[in-house]
Amino acid sequence: MEGGNRQHAARTSSHRRLQKELTMPQCRPGYAASSTLRLKDLARRAERYERIVAAATTLAARGTFDCQIRTVAEAAGVAPSTVYRYFTSKDEILLACLLRWLREFSTSTMETGSGKFNCHQRVLELARKLTASMCATPGFTEAVIRPYVYAHGAAASTRAEMVREELIHIFCRAMSDGEPSPLHRSVAELFTDVWVTNIAAICQHRISIDDLLHRLALIVDALTQTDRHAESVGESHKATEVPDEKDVA
């Protein structure tokens, strides 16, 4: 009887241990297979997203008229309902196109910094390249800037903020060789807002690219003069400091 109890206890303990092992994620039957399926699904969703944005980017270059949900779906080879799984409106798609374009520009200019320029000259040079590249396709520029300036709705506003952060990152990187300072961030925010507003004006043929670059140069000149003034005040302050008694002694 006692032996039977021990065998029953051993079987119970073994059963519980097996049950515990099977409930662990890495040991559940089919866990590896289901993980593979999830990864494949994520890859498929990412591929569809990129295909939709790439198709919309091509259409946007022709102007906003062609960049409709149904037209984008047809160009991407998917159903309109598939496009709506990723985007809630045409404006949201156009903002995704702008963000994609900016990230590609950022990658292509990552190694273009030159030691012969100071931080203000670098950010101005980068703004020139950014403006020239963007305005090389005026149809695309006009299509993607409008929803940024007039973004409304939670989804569009969120994507517009992502675009703004990407622009700030681009300008911050031009000014800083390492971790950008709060001042770099503030200057990059100013550059971003001025640049976007003026790009919209270029699209409406109210100003030229040269006008934009001139306005950005004025910002750089003002920042340069501010830096020089701060350095001058600092040197003057050091020169007029009263010597320490220990130093006099």
Q: Is residue 168 part of a domain?
A: yes
pLDDT of residue 84: 94
Q: Is residue 14 part of a domain?
A: no
pLDDT over threshold 80, residue 154: yes
Mind listing the pLDDT tens digit for each residue in 93-134? 999 999 999 999 999 887 554 556 677 788 888 998 999 899
- What's the domain range around 220? 31-231
Q: Is residue 240 part of a domain?
A: no
Q: Is residue 178 part of a domain?
A: yes
Mean pLDDT along residues 176-199: 86
Q: Is residue 77 part of a domain?
A: yes
pLDDT of residue 244: 55
pLDDT of residue 63: 73
pLDDT of residue 142: 87
Q: Is residue 118 part of a domain?
A: yes
pLDDT of residue 93: 94
Give the pLDDT band of residue 32 (cuts 50, 70, 90).
low
Q: Looking at the 3D structure of the chain, how many domains does it have?
A: 1
Q: Is residue 246 part of a domain?
A: no
What residue has token string 């020169």? 239
Q: Is residue 248 part of a domain?
A: no
CATH number at residue 57: 1.10.357.10
pLDDT of residue 239: 58
pLDDT of residue 208: 87
Structure pTM? Answer: 0.74
